[in-house]
Chain A
């Protein structure tokens, strides 16, 4: 009896260690990132490294905003990600409904090809087209290319959700004389609200994180945040504190969103295996 209890305690302890081993790489990494961003330059360049800051300073964060036009890059990021997500929702939610209801397998396969295609392969033709249209240097090319990421995510998540909805409700509406549009607008759409939330969050995050489109298409004034921090590295040379602070500023919105919306994010990612780029 006691032997069994001991064995169970040992196995539980082993399991706790396994979980700790699984999550510690993430915890240690983000703690180190935070530590770098809160330390003075002296502490950051010290060897052996200083783990817990001797003095906590916010100078690095102030530096990021003073030396660079980070506010503008932030606004660029917000405009691009919100527009690309909005456009994707506007087009993708009805499309997901149409594909789910008409069981149009082939169009679903097309979406899948968009998931497989490397981002660079869109960039060469679109880069040339934008040059000919003289759109480079504005945010328009960025918004358009980000739709390449957001639209497949939205369509994919929405197909899954509309397929999961019971067909009886809409059929009842149709029998009562509603048009298909009304059945969509007043029956299916309100029911699919959780799906729309999932699609919005995922599309927004993957648009926010995107780097490859911005690094090619953005000019000096149209950089998004990921492009901007990359340029901080290359042009200002290694000054660790401000760099870590900038990295934290860029990724903080996404991390906070992940913490707040973890259930939706997990549901969406599990069902779709989506990832942009």
Chain B
């Protein structure tokens, strides 16, 4: 939503330039501007500065040029963390998107107790992620966990969940999907709610089925909202931290060590502040690239 609003705002501002009171309003923005500069922009400049330095606690700051960036190219653990991040991100974006769109279509219909059902549905995304992750961890327990009990009583083999390298990322994707499908649902639902009634009436008169109306009217019209949800979901999935940190802490071994987890370890376990800063820069560039790619998709389809 944020990005699309920015675009409409750009258009609106061009129109309004003829009678510009803009200068009168700057005192309202200045205090927040100073704080944003101090706690958001300044850290960015500092990160860039640190990324070309070597610094460990107890020693002096040393300029190393691009050495930190070059190190990344040969750091296999880092390169694998990119692969894992992409693997996790693709799954943790697509599943919530599909389920979220389906849920939005359901919640768009009127039915008794809709408000309550919607509130229950968005509970997972409002609940404290750490608290939720801890309870999931207990449910994943291979011997005593409730999930394996349910699987075995249904006649299925037990699952290793977050306790095996092969299954840990799908397990984390499941938790992420449970938690963030509601945000996709809300954004798409907002889109559906803003649609006009007329096309549907016309289609109904022509004898269109519910699926045809969804496929040929709803979907094209809410497409911008779907893309916004997609961008937000993809960015949040790349940034996922709390869930992974608490449930698997990058393990077993390094099987679920995404860029964000590796970054955390480099910065706050090994205290390689220079190297970690360089990773932050690359990480941020990756996030920007993903958002730009997804937005060019939108431009082409719109």
Contacts and interface: CB of A to CB of B under 8 A. Distances in A.
Interface of A: 15-16, 18-19, 22-23, 25-27, 29-30, 32-33, 36, 45, 47-49, 87, 90-92, 94-95, 97-99, 101-105, 107-112, 114-129, 144-145, 147-148, 151, 155-156, 160, 180, 184, 205, 208-209, 211-212, 215-216, 225-227, 229-230, 233, 238, 240, 243-244, 246-248, 250-251, 254-255, 257-259, 262-263, 265-266, 269-273, 275, 277
Interface stretch (B22-30, B64-72, B75-83, B89-97): B22-30
A88 B138 CA distance: 36
Interface string B4-33: 011001101100100001111111110111
A233 B276 CA distance: 27
Interface of B is mostly: helix
B273 interface: yes
B260 A118 contact: yes
Contacts of B135: 29, 32-33, 36, 244, 247
A67 to B, nearest CB: 16
A211 B130 contact: yes
Contacts of A25: 124, 178
B205 to A, nearest CB: 18
Contacts, number: 282
A212 B126 contact: no
B186 A49 contact: no
B77 to A, nearest CB: 17
Interface of B: 1-3, 5-6, 9-10, 12-13, 16, 21-29, 31-33, 35-36, 39-40, 42-44, 46-47, 50, 103, 106, 109, 111, 115, 117-132, 134-135, 137-139, 143-144, 146, 149, 153, 178, 183, 186-187, 189-190, 228-229, 232, 235-236, 238-239, 241-242, 245-246, 260, 263-264, 267-268, 273, 276-277, 280, 283-284, 287-288, 291
B183 A226 contact: no
A26 B28 contact: no
A156 B132 contact: no
A250 B128 contact: yes
A49 B103 CA distance: 31
20 contacts: A15-B111, A18-B106, A29-B178, A95-B28, A98-B25, A98-B26, A102-B21, A118-B283, A122-B39, A123-B267, A124-B47, A124-B273, A126-B39, A156-B2, A160-B5, A226-B129, A230-B130, A258-B119, A270-B190, A275-B125
